[in-house]
Structure 1
């Protein structure tokens, strides 16, 4: 299990969003308040952000806990962005992929994170491997369930699907193959945030016309946080948030 968040709004130092709040993502790496599976998210972390005029995001990822990385503290203090995605990781299974397995994953304009797990991985999803071209499988960043799920989503995005359609169809496809999978996805292109609530918590808070944050759990006690119902697709911009129920996979 993991914790993650995405932010769109006025440019701010990365640390103002990731580290600054009283129950920040930084704090959630060892003391999450609403995490249903696992307790410590110390198997890696990452943050991706967008610079003005450049649609391709930058990333900083490491294999260890976020609290032990002095270089990250400097970066978070001085780098400013109006769009970011960050995550802290609790590995489902032991592996040797290191920072390659830490979200956010990235291709083109997109940043992606998965909060959840696919029980029985990889055997439970072998039926889905034929849906991907061999080059997509061979170019996966890591050998974990999240990397494979990103490959499924990315294949749909490259085929022309809108972000919401790509996440919804991937969620239902994986849930049909692995019914107990937890599939909270988080995706941004720097202008919008798309997410799924499927098996774990998801919240959002917005200042209409100014900013929106989508997160696994609230990072402060502001009463304006709204919980997203389970089995829901979220699509957000700086001006609006749309929630759409996700149908159950076919029996």
Structure 2
């Protein structure tokens, strides 16, 4: 349904992550190699990044395909960051809500993306939405499945959960309420990354010597250091360490 990528490490131009590699996110918008659902991700895109000394990320989002946005090409060439999250979108429901529905979603210091779809949306997860504080529901950026997933994750982050728990518990709840949903989630606070593999591809490239890690829906090049994350797995990553935890231990 989408492709996404997150990076923490030494400061680099955004283009080195998102547009320069042979199989970059830009290319994945029209020619993904490992996407299991859908073929073209042309329903919008977004990129969020952190500036040195500022914990609150900046964002650039558009409802158009990433390959046709010349402003993005300029940004990717000149903006540098040591942490970023970006996504290209294939909407669950065609034409849904433009830029407001494009990841990354943000709240405070966090950036978030959902690659997947909620089975039976919205009826199957109406009880989960009702269980959220009314203010959180009213603050939804869009009336899409991904926006609701983000509200559930953000609620846990604000009450003090770590990044991994903030993803794993909503996945458990959503999988129970809507079996067959695809729940590949990606989250960063600019220092660490958490992600879930649940129904679509997820890979990571760790380079401890360079103190950098990339987590992505699929590899952007043929570097042999890319590793695929098994389905139903929680990934947590720092610049020098990646941990994988089977979600079946906490999610039935």
TM over 0.5: yes
C-alpha RMSD over aligned residues? 0.9
Q: TM-score, length-normalised on structure 1?
A: 0.98
TM alignment of 1:119-158, pairs within 5 A: 119-158=119-158
CA–CA distance in 1 between the matches of 2:233 and 2:178? 18
TM alignment of 1:234-249, pairs within 5 A: 234-247=235-248, 249=251
CA–CA distance in 2 between the matches of 1:20 and 1:235? 26
> What is residue 55 of structure 1 aligned with on the other side?
55
> What is residue 83 of structure 1 aligned with on the other side?
83
> What is residue 220 of structure 1 aligned with on the other side?
221
> What is residue 117 of structure 1 aligned with on the other side?
117
The residue matched to 1:217 in structure 2 has which SS? Answer: coil
- Is 1:35 equivalent to 2:32 in the alignment? no
CA–CA distance in 1 between the matches of 2:75 and 2:159? 35
> What is residue 25 of structure 1 aligned with on the other side?
25
Runs (5+) with no aligned partner, structure 2:
none
Deviation at 1:95, TM superposition (A): 3.9
List 4+ stretches of structure 1 deviating above 3 A: none
> What is residue 233 of structure 1 aligned with on the other side?
234
Deviation at 1:159, TM superposition (A): 1.1
Deviation at 1:113, TM superposition (A): 0.1
CA–CA distance in 2 between the matches of 1:29 and 1:96? 18
Q: Is the 8 A contact 2:96 2:144 kept in 1?
A: no
Q: TM-score, length-normalised on structure 2?
A: 0.97
Deviation at 1:96, TM superposition (A): 4.2
Number of residue-to-residue matches in the alignment: 250
The residue matched to 2:43 in structure 1 has which SS? Answer: coil
